């Protein structure tokens, strides 16, 4: 099993803690006077998203997590499983509901997502920063009202609900920022 | 790696400040008739301290890059040099971070016939002189090691069970896998010192912590009235450790015992062995005057003057760009 020395820990490295893979988000080296050195890290659990603190004595050995972020194309969902394909190898993987998590309402066929694989199995899915989605349902659009900044909810083809300006109609194609869940503009098609 | 890595990590104005501070230090000691000396950076022996790892050469006959000029300067003291100081680069493996660079500049000085209190006052004067133009400094505070733990951690560092130290760490949201065995007491104390005491120390002025546990004496004398304590002090400013000083150990036998103990600890930990500096033992046997000595990290001092968050801002080139 691959491992890191605590002195080699860096931001972005993936390590195993309490049986789960974690991503290191912060590293601090501390050493009081002439004493024992420690490495203090903040890590994000790649399965649950929870961030925790952990401190290691210097020269401790920490198990590396076999975690890879891979660009994959979203294919379809059969109810329980969301399928993604590596466009270079054509390998397909299936992600369960837990792994798909918050990405679920943003997944549109053929979009390229980042699938985080742990020992080859998807543990999380990150949608593209921006997606182009069609409005499936919303109140009828109000012409001319572009200045007030008033919004209404719209349900997109993927099920995501987004606040949109009043002039948007069913069938409009919108550009949405998946990181904030905010409407950005109408997409030119 | 981007192409800008040839550039210095410090601003040119920081280098000017470094030069000014070096000039001020030399003037300060010239006024007090403290002699500037230079001692070898490469040595046949190294520090045995299990918490400090020397760089070593790959030659057939290994030489060690010094981690502090302490041993050589003590040999000068034993040879009758009187008060001496040195400004030099020192090298420590595996110390890298916002406050650490594996190669750093140390100001180290020794004052025969001056006691620890006298040296603490001199350190205070020098630091105030060097920083006065750059940041306003509040009154100097002093805490014994025991007081600091009582006040900022709420435990007695020598009397608390090790499990109580572990519980105190957990209370401060420090999660670490370390045994609560008595043999780990110093590691728990170091952990609490670095992550609880240091951040909680009063800011804005120099803070001296003195009388460390005897187990952390390093090269300090034990307190004559309370042998659980060592005559060692540290200086902090805004939570940043700046200096470490001792009422220096002058007893050759005791020094030899501590070296031997260090080497045993290294062996137990699976760390590389380091040859003992027999010249130092011989010098102590000859006789070193009673004296106090202190080492001050100049890059850290410069960080304070610059209000820098990272030591790289005080270095012409960080180790990564060296």
Q: Please report where in the chains the tokens 């499936």 appear, as a residue.
A: A136
Nearest C-alpha neighbor of B122 from the set B68, B80, B83, B74: B83
- As given in the structure block, the two tokens for residue B105 are 């500049």
Q: 3.90.1150.10, 1.25.40.20, 3.40.50.720, 3.30.930.10: which CATH number matches B12-138+251-321?
A: 3.30.930.10
Report the DSSP beta bridge partners of residue A44: A23, A51
pLDDT of residue B202: 96
B194 contacts chain A (CB < 8 A): yes
Measured in angstroms, the CA of A99 and the nearest CA of chain B are apart by 27
Nearest C-alpha neighbor of A99 from the set A130, A124, A78: A124
- As given in the structure block, the two tokens for residue A57 are 């004595």
Between CA B117 and CA B233 the distance in angstroms is 10
pLDDT of residue A145: 62
Between CA A46 and CA B139 the distance in angstroms is 48
pLDDT of residue A147: 66
- As given in the structure block, the two tokens for residue B22 are 């070096």
pLDDT of residue A189: 57
Q: Who among B94, B173, B193 is closest to A58 (CB)?
A: B94
Nearest-10 Cα torsion for A56, B272, B222, B104: -70
Q: Who among A27, A28, A34 is closest to B49 (CB)?
A: A34
Q: Please report where in the chains the tokens 């820098």 appear, as a residue.
A: B308
Between CA B65 and CA B81 the distance in angstroms is 24
Question: Lowest-confidence range among A147-156, A174-183, B5-14, B296-305?
Answer: A147-156
Under an 8 A CB cutoff, do A40 and B195 touch? Answer: yes
pLDDT tier at B316 (50, 70, 90 boundaries)?
very high
pLDDT one-digit tens code per residue, A3-26: 999 888 998 899 999 999 999 999
Nearest C-alpha neighbor of B221 from the set B141, B130, B290: B290
The three-class DSSP label of residue B19 is helix
Under an 8 A CB cutoff, do A28 and B98 touch? Answer: yes
Asked if residues B275 and B44 have their Cβ atoms less than 8 Å apart, the reply is yes
Residue B281: its H or E element: helix B278-286
Q: Strand B35-36 relative to strand B84-91: parallel, antiparallel, unpaired?
A: parallel
Between CA B67 and CA B63 the distance in angstroms is 12
ipTM of the complex: 0.86
Count Cβ–Cβ pairs < 8 Å, chain A vs chain B.
73
**pTM for the whole structure:** 0.82
Nearest CA in chain B to A59: B94
pLDDT tier at A146 (50, 70, 90 boundaries)?
low
């Amino acid at each position: 099993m691959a491992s890191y020395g605590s002195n080699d820990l860096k931001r972005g490295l993936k390590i195993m803690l309490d049986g789960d893979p974690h991503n290191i988000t912060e590293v601090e080296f501390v050493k009081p006077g002439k004493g024992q050195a420690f490495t203090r890290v903040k890590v994000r659990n790649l399965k649950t998203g929870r961030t925790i603190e952990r401190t290691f004595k210097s020269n401790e050995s920490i198990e590396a997590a076999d975690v890879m972020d891979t660009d994959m194309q979203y294919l379809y969902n059969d109810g329980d499983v969301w399928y993604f394909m590596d466009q270079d190898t054509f390998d397909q993987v299936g992600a369960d509901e837990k792994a798909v998590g918050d990405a679920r309402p943003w997944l549109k066929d053929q979009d390229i997502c980042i699938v985080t694989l742990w020992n080859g199995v998807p543990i999380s899915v990150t949608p593209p920063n921006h997606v182009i989605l069609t409005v499936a349902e919303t109140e009828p659009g109000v012409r001319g009202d572009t200045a007030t900044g008033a919004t209404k909810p719209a349900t997109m083809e993927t099920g995501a609900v987004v606040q949109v300006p009043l002039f948007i109609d069913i069938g409009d194609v919108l550009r949405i920022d998946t990181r904030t869940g905010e409407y950005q503009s109408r997409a030119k098609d | 790696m981007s192409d800008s890595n040839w550039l210095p990590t410090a601003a040119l104005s920081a280098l000017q400040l470094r030069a000014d501070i070096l000039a001020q230090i030399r003037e300060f000691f010239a006024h007090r008739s403290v002699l500037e000396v230079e001692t070898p950076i490469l040595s046949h022996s190294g520090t045995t301290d299990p918490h400090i790892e020397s760089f070593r050469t790959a030659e057939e006959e290994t030489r060690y890059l010094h981690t502090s000029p302490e041993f050589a300067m003590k040999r000068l003291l034993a040879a009758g040099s009187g008060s001496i100081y040195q400004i030099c680069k020192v090298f420590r493996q595996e110390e890298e971070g916002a406050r650490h660079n594996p190669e750093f500049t140390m100001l180290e000085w020794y004052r025969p016939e001056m006691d620890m209190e006298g040296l603490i006052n001199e350190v205070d004067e020098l630091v105030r002189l060097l920083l006065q133009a750059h940041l306003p400094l509040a009154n100097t505070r002093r805490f014994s090691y025991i007081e600091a733990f009582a006040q900022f951690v709420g435990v007695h560092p020598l009397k608390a069970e090790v499990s109580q130290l572990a519980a105190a760490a957990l209370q401060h949201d420090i999660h670490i896998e370390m045994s609560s065995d008595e043999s780990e007491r110093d590691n728990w104390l170091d952990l609490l010192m670095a992550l609880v005491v240091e951040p909680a120390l009063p800011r804005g002025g120099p803070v001296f912590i003195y009388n460390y546990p005897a187990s952390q004496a390093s090269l300090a004398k034990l307190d004559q009235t309370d042998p659980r304590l060592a005559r060692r002090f540290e200086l902090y400013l805004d939570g940043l450790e700046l200096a470490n000083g001792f009422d220096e150990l002058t007893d050759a036998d005791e020094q030899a015992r501590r070296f031997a103990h260090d080497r045993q600890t290294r062996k137990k930990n699976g760390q590389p062995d380091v040859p003992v500096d027999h010249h130092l033992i011989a010098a102590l046997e000859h006789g070193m005057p009673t004296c106090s000595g202190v080492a001050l990290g100049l890059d850290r001092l410069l960080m304070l003057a610059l209000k820098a968050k990272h030591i790289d801002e005080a270095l012409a080139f960080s180790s990564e760009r060296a």
